[in-house]
Structure 1
Amino acid sequence: MADQSDIAGGATGTQTPGGPGYGAQAPAGYGYPGGAALPSGKATASMVLGILGLVLIPIILPIIALCLGISARRMADRGVGGGRGQAVAGIVMGSVGIGFAVLGIIMATVQGISAM
């Protein structure tokens, strides 16, 4: 076998001066430091309650989803938390759920009146 002592990092355990090492730093990237803010719990809860309000409980959950969504969107606009998209989704689904609930109440009232 050949002598490996003349190759950088060989028998002596040294590195060449320009080689990779712990002192090298990655170049700085573009954009904001720290990345995007994580979604707040209010935004996530708003979206989940909006979905459940469309499927399970059409009167109570959409109202809660709408209130939480408005609060979470305001927080995201101030920069306190992230999840603006989830908050908007909760607002939209809460509004649609409230609309369906009002439509259902009107339909039930009309059917009740016409049955008399």
Structure 2
Amino acid sequence: MADQSGSAGGTTGMPAPGGPGYGMHPPAGYGYPGGAPLPSGKATASMVLGIVGLLLIPIIPPIIALCLGISARRMADRGEGGGRGMATAGMVMGIVGIAFAALGVVVATVQALSVL
């Protein structure tokens, strides 16, 4: 006779044979396979340098951000890491930063020549 605790033979603490049990694992094939890959360091560095290039130092960091963004995006496309969106953001900010730096050089040159 089974008591209300679900044990077959009294108070032994063992579940009834064929019962669900707490330590059972779901069958293979269920659940998530492990999630998306983490962003690579290159993608993160590209985005950070892109932000730094837009806000603080307008010449060298955008160039590095563009190069790292291209490299990280190629790695993500080959499946060697994640962070494709971060790499793209770093590339875009690198391009914009290079354009602003070039515009600043042109404006400074025109102003310097107009003084003469």
In the superposition, the TM-score normalised over structure 2's length comes to 0.86
1:33-79 Cα shifts (integer Å, max 9, x gaps): 22211100000000000000101110000000000000000000011
1:62-102 Cα shifts (integer Å, max 9, x gaps): 00000000000000001111100000000000000000000
Hey, what's the Cα distance between the residues in 2 that align with 1:19 and 1:81?
40
AA at the equivalent of 2:48:
V
Displacement after TM superposition at 1:103 (Å): 0.3
Unaligned 5+ runs, structure 2:
none
Q: Name which of 3, 6, 14 aligns with 1:6.
A: 3
Q: Structure 1: which 4+ aligned runs deviate by more than 4 Å?
A: none
Unaligned 5+ runs, structure 1:
none
Aligned position for 1:102: 102
RMSD of aligned Cα (Å): 1.8
Displacement after TM superposition at 1:115 (Å): 1.0
Aligned position for 1:57: 57
AA at the equivalent of 1:28:
Y
Aligned length: 110
Aligned position for 1:25: 26
Hey, what's the Cα distance between the residues in 2 that align with 1:99 and 1:24?
56
AA at the equivalent of 1:92:
V
AA at the equivalent of 1:70:
I
Matches within 5 A, 1:32-51: 33-51=33-51
Q: Secondary structure of the equivalent of 1:25?
A: coil
In the superposition, the TM-score normalised over structure 1's length comes to 0.86
